[in-house]
Chain A
Amino acid sequence: MVEFFDATVETVEHVTGDLYLLRLRDCEALASSQPGQFAMLRPRSWQVDPVLARPFSIFRTSGDRVDFLIRTVGRGTDSLVRCNAGERIDVLGPVGTAFPSPSHGPTVLVAGGVGLAPIGLWIDRADDGMRADATLIYGARTADDLVFLDELSQRVAVVVTTEDGSFGRKGLVTDEMVSLLDGCAEVLTCGPTRMMAHVARLAGEARVSCHVSLEARMACGRGICLGCAVPGVAGPLLVCRDGPVLPAGHVDWEQVLV
């Protein structure tokens, strides 16, 4: 059940490039979060500005500790990763829909950049059988943007792509997808919208079920403000309430990409 509570910053660790790992404690309410669900975070120190809480996928949980993988993209995230240990953060969560847990057959996980976050929780929560059946295609711009590769490789098969070829295979995650779709039961993806649209199209062409985790600016995170609407094939979808995880076929990709 969603709760509104205050948590404490335990650590903020610079991982690489513009990626940070924020660890909060006093987050018992998030312990049972499902992969794909997210939380709204707002440091108390923001007071009048920035105004709105920011949504982040839950990356890892351990007891009352929760890790968020954060890419700095603007003044909200810039400020959040500068929080000191001990700072109080207002948290709303867990909110949103989760990735399905496939009961049989191979799963292809496709993560682009910081889109690794909800995929990481899926891998954590999967049982040994699910992991043995899963392949992660993890793409980034360059080798320096790749994170937690060793941990990931110990748990699932990983195919790495970088746009500049500095690590793994040169190219995009979608270049590696097609050969894995034969016999695949489910594709789960999170990353840049354009990437997910391409992933969804390839999965659709191969008639493989596909779930995507969308992102949008939002104010409330719980279906109240209607600010995070994205175009769906049957009308607008709220990323916070109908998503963030949605069947790829529910999204009107042509309109989303406009």
Chain B
Amino acid sequence: MEIRADSTVDMGVDLTGLALANPVMTASGTFGYGVESKDLVDLAELGAVVTKGLSPVPKEGNRAPRIWEAQAGVINSIGLENPGVDYFCEEYLPVLRSYDTRVVVNFFGQTEQDYVVCAATLDAADGVDALEMNLSCPNVQAGGLQFGQDPSMAGRLVAACRRATSKPLWAKLSLVGPVVEVARACVDAGADVLCLGNTIPAMAIDPRTRRPRLGALTGGLSGPAIHPVAVRAVFVVHRAELGVPLVGIGGIRTGLDAAEFLLAGASAVQVGTQTLVEPNACIRIRDELRAYCIEQKVTSVGQLRGACRLDGDA
């Protein structure tokens, strides 16, 4: 698609008080802490940098191998390895702050207290525009059940973080489980934005050696294979009319892939796996999305939100 120089499309989006210049962000875990890519990617062109997930203290990763390529997808079991939220605030954030880009910081924990510590630290940190909480982590105090698999547990966790920060609080949900119920619980507890979603639990086995492909045995599937699953999740949560913006995540490779999420009801998107193989994927996808808007004769990308045509629509 050619972009006509004389065409103007308003690519800006508003996510409950946080204005983005365009709706295409990096997905957590696929762009590090942003600063690693400053020489390869113009950070100011991104809708936002969404950082790799942070925990209250540094966390080691899983045993190797940590990555396996599935069909049209990637299974990873990195293990949320990270240097800890304090290290991020001291070492990476000051550098990131010097670039004209929005900064969304992803965080997680093993207990409610872990999450609250992260939220409070990031609330106090200058240069953090929004907090994205990863709900797809096992709660060690609830027998390892993921916070995001149980609506009441998810709601309690979001409420606790809500009390710890006045900044925009985004809840990143799992694509499996009772997604609408969990989404509703998060919004009732004060989440400003819902992100749908995370990788999908997955496994691969080498049939010849009969051994699992990953050191951690199982991992999370990302990439084009999960795109329709995530589009459906956005669609059903959008239909529940919870009153907060949605961010679509999963297998976006082109502007049209991103457009599907917007039509399903998302206000913005994140690009993960494609960012790993193409560092500036977000910028290309933004340009393709703008070209799609021109083709569709919409003057603002926001007009695409939830504009999927259903029975009875013109």
Contacts and interface: CB of A to CB of B under 8 A. Distances in A.
A52 interface: yes
Interface stretch (B12-20, B26-34, B109-117, B143-151): B26-34
Contact of A226 (B81, B278, B279, B280): B81
A231 interface: yes
B39 interface: yes
Contacts of B243: none
A4 B67 contact: no
Interface in A1-37: 1-4
A216 B40 CA distance: 23
A224 B224 contact: no
Interface in B19-70: 29-32, 36-37, 39-40, 60-61, 63-69
A236 B31 contact: no
Interface in A213-258: 216-220, 222-231, 235-236
A224 B81 CA distance: 11
A216 B69 CA distance: 13
Contacts of A4: 40, 278-280
Nearest to B224: A48
A103 to B, nearest CB: 31
A92 interface: yes
B61 A226 contact: yes
Given A48-B224, A49-B72, A219 B61 contact: no
A219 B69 CA distance: 9
B78 interface: yes
Contacts of A211: none
Contacts of B60: 235-236
B73 A217 contact: no
Contacts of A226: 61, 66, 78, 81
Given A4-B279, A229-B66, A231-B64, A52 B40 contact: no
A226 B59 CA distance: 13
A187 B130 CA distance: 51
Interface in A102-159: none
Contacts of B63: 231
A50 B69 contact: yes
A51 interface: yes
B277 interface: yes
Given A224-B37, A226-B81, A219 B276 contact: yes
Interface residues of A, number: 33
A2 B36 CA distance: 12
Nearest to B253: A48
Interface string B62-106: 011111110111101010010000000000000000000000000
A90 interface: yes
A242 to B, nearest CB: 13
B36 A223 contact: yes
A49 B67 contact: no
Contacts of A92: 279
A53 interface: yes
A100 interface: no
A51 B74 contact: yes
Contacts of B71: 49
Given A47-B253, A48-B253, A51-B72, 10 more contacts: A1-B39, A4-B279, A40-B277, A42-B277, A217-B67, A219-B74, A219-B276, A224-B32, A229-B61, A229-B81
24 contacts: A3-B40, A4-B280, A47-B253, A50-B69, A51-B73, A51-B224, A51-B277, A52-B69, A216-B64, A217-B67, A219-B277, A220-B276, A222-B36, A223-B32, A224-B276, A225-B78, A225-B276, A227-B76, A228-B67, A229-B66, A230-B64, A235-B60, A236-B60, A236-B61
Interface of B: 29-32, 36-37, 39-40, 60-61, 63-69, 71-74, 76, 78, 81, 223-224, 253, 273, 276-280
What 5 A-B pairs are tightest by C-beta distance, nearest first?
A: A227-B67, A48-B224, A49-B72, A220-B276, A219-B276
